[in-house]
Amino acid sequence: MSEQDPDAGLVARVGRGDAAATRLLVAAKLPRVLALAARMLRDTAAAEDVAQEAFLRVWRTAGAWQPGRARFDTWLHTVVLNLCRDRLRRRREVTGETLPEPVDPAPGAETTLLEAERARQVADAIAALPDRQREAILLVHYQDLSGAEAAAALGVSVEALESLLARGRRGLRASFALAQERDDRD
Amino acid sequence: MTEQLDLARFRALADAYGGSLARWPAAYRSAATRLAATSEGADVLAAAAMLDDRLDAWRDRPVTNGLSARIVAGAPMSASLASRARLWWSGIGVAAALAGAAAGTAAVLVTVPADQAVDGGTSFGELADAGDDL
């Protein structure tokens, strides 16, 4: 899959210290990196820290990158996932929490209260999923990775990924249905 | 490669990837497009799309300019750019002491050598290693 890596040329230029390529790579990848970290951690400051750390790893590694192996975007997602897992693990050790802290998931000052509440419900439902199902949903639905790319990032087969996705989506449906029932009763 | 698709597999793919065929494996899209034109297929996709729409309520955060600038500033500069910086300093006849300081600055800016190991991080092409703690 990596022979058609659309980022190969740009990463090679970054590895040679090309400043323009560096800016282009940040412009292209930072929104994706931040989006994944923010949804994993539900903490803006921590997500920005993860984004900076992920790019530090890009800078350290770009010069040694070899086309023909992993796709850059898949590798970058794996780095971000691992950094977020480390932070979640440390958070659990310190606070005993098994779920990410609920922090405002809605972006932008223009967001209405209703939109913010809908976003929070989705964020809460996704946070309640088992880790692997949550990661599968984040990679495929929000990060738009293909099944093969998401499976590679998670280190599972495509069949296993599809099972994680299907179970995750069933869990989300059940969660939303329960919330709807509660709303109807109130 | 184009895969054959019966309704059971079509449902399974919709359960996994949702109602947008753009997220489905490319090998199935052609057959899926044909099935999506049937009433049964359309119902399956519509149900999956309802969940997709719900999930889309959780939107991406905007990236601040400050974060982008900090990340770009942390990137190494190429050796050639650093050399040009040294030439510029020598060309305007800066005193030897100042030239030494410029060379020191340039040395800091030289790209990290490719053979420097990532400090325990994920290396390109090492997804399996990166996923050790999956």
Query: What pLDDT was estimated at residue B127?
Result: 58
Weakest-pLDDT range from A64-73, A117-126, A174-183 = A64-73
- How far A90 CA sits from the closest chain B CA (Å)? 14
Give the list of residues 6+ apart from residue A178 with CB closer than 8 angstroms, or none.
none
Q: List the single residue in B with minimal CA-CA distance to A145.
A: B23
CA–CA distance, A28 with A186 (Å, rounded to integer): 45
Inter-chain contact B128–A63, Cβ cutoff 8 Å? no
Check residue B63 and give its pLDDT. Answer: 87
Distance CA A34, CA A80 (A): 9
Which residues of chain A does B62 touch, with a Cβ-Cβ cutoff of 8 Å?
107-108
Residues 11-30 of B with CB under 8 A from A: 12-13, 15-18, 23-26
pLDDT tens digits for range B42-77: 999 999 999 999 999 999 888 888 999 999 999 986
Average confidence score pLDDT of chain A? 90
Taking 90 as the threshold, does the pLDDT of residue A150 lie above it? yes
Residues whose CB is less than 8 angstroms from the CB of residue A152 and which lie 6 or more positions away in sequence, other chains included: A1, A70, A71, A74, A78, B127
Angle of helix A113-127 versus helix A158-185 axis, rounded to 10:
130
Q: Binning pLDDT at 50, 70 and 90, where does residue A183 land?
A: confident
Asked if B130 and A75 touch (Cβ cutoff 8 Å), the reply is yes
Per-position DSSP letters for A124-178, written without gaps between them: HHHHTS-HHHHHHHIIIIIS---HHHHHHHHTS-HHHHHHHHHHHHHHHHHHHHH
Q: Most B CBs within 10 Å: which of A25, A29, A79, as the mutation test of the B interface?
A: A79
Judged by DSSP in three states, B103 sits in helix
User: Which residues from chain B sit within 8 angstroms of residue A63, using beta carbons?
Assistant: 111-114
Categorize the per-residue pLDDT at A2 as very low, low, confident or very high, splitting at 50, 70 and 90: very low
Residues of B in contact with A103 (CB under 8 A): none
Decide if B16 contacts B8 (C-beta within 8 A).
no
Whether the per-residue pLDDT at B121 is higher than 60: the answer is no
- Pairwise CB contact (< 8 Å): B79 & A17: yes
- pLDDT digit string, tens, across residues B5-42: 999 999 999 999 999 999 999 999 999 999 999 999 99
Distance between the two ends of chain A, CA-based, in angstroms? 51
For residue B53, the model assigns a pLDDT of 97
Give the pTM: 0.79
User: What share of chain A has pLDDT > 70, as a percent?
Assistant: 90
| Whether the predicted pLDDT of A37 surpasses 90 | yes
Mean pLDDT value across residues A158-169: 98
Per-window interface: B 98-127 vs A, CB < 8 A: 111-116, 118-119, 121-127
Q: Which residues of B touch A52 (CB under 8 A)?
A: 67, 70-71, 74
Check residues A114 and A149 and name the one with the higher pLDDT: A149
